[in-house]
Amino acid sequence: MSDAAGRASRRGFLAGTSLGAAALTLSAVPEALAQQSPRPLPAQGQFPVKVISSGNGLEATKKAYEMIVAGADPLDACVAGVTIVEDDPKDNSVGYGGLPNEDGVVELDAAVMHGPTHQCGAVASLRNVKNPAQVARLVLKQTDHVLLVGEGALQFARAQGFPEENLLTEESRKIWLYWRQTRGPDDDWLPPPDDELDPAVKSFFGRPTGTIHCAGMNANGDVSCVTSTSGLAFKLAGRVGDSPIIGAGLYCDNEIGSCGSTGRGEANLQNLSSMAAVELMRSGMPPKEAGLEILRRVAQHTVPRLRDAEGRPTFDLQFYLIAKDGSHAGVAMWGPKKFAITDAAGSRLEEGASLYTKG
Catalytic residue among 209, 211, 229, 342: 211
Q: CA 135 → CA 97, 129, 181, distances in Å? A: 18, 9, 34
Instruction: Evaluate if residue 90 carries a pLDDT over 80.
Output: yes
Q: Give the per-residue pLDDT at 206.
A: 58
209 among known catalytic residues: no
Instruction: Evaluate if residue 31 carries a pLDDT over 60.
Output: no
Residue that wins the pLDDT comparison between 85 and 7:
85
Tell me the C-alpha distance between 112 and 78, whole Å. Answer: 9
- Ordered structural domains, the chain, with CATH: 41-168+208-357 (3.60.20.30)
Least confident piece of the model among 103-117, 190-204, 294-308:
190-204
Q: Give the per-residue pLDDT at 264.
A: 95
Range with top average pLDDT, 2-11, 79-88, 182-191: 79-88
Task: Express each pLDDT in 208-253 by its tens digit.
Answer: 567 999 999 999 999 999 999 999 999 999 999 999 999 999 999 9
Tell me the C-alpha distance between 183 and 34, whole Å. Answer: 48
Q: Give the per-residue pLDDT at 38.
A: 61
Instruction: Evaluate if residue 314 carries a pLDDT over 90.
Output: yes
Q: Give the per-residue pLDDT at 339.
A: 97
- Please give the mean pLDDT across all residues of the chain: 89
Q: Give the per-residue pLDDT at 326.
A: 94
In the chain, % of residues over pLDDT 90: 77
Q: Give the per-residue pLDDT at 202.
A: 65
**Which residues on adjacent β-strands are paired with residue 260?**
250, 320
Q: Give the per-residue pLDDT at 196.
A: 75
Mean pLDDT to the nearest integer, 250-260: 98
Task: Express each pLDDT in 126-139 by its tens digit.
Answer: 999 999 999 999 99
Least confident piece of the model among 11-15, 43-47, 79-83:
11-15
Residue 7 — pLDDT band, cuts 50, 70, 90?
very low
Q: CA 37 → CA 223, 233, 286, distances in Å? A: 21, 42, 10
**Peptide bond before residue 336 is cis, with ω within 30 degrees of 0:** yes
Q: What is the largest CA-CA distance in the chain?
A: 75
Instruction: Evaluate if residue 354 carries a pLDDT over 50.
Output: yes
**Mutual orientation of helices 132-142 and 74-86 as an angle, nearest 10°?**
150
**Which residues on adjacent β-strands are paired with residue 120?**
113
Task: Express each pLDDT in 35-59 by its tens digit.
Answer: 555 667 888 889 999 999 999 999 9
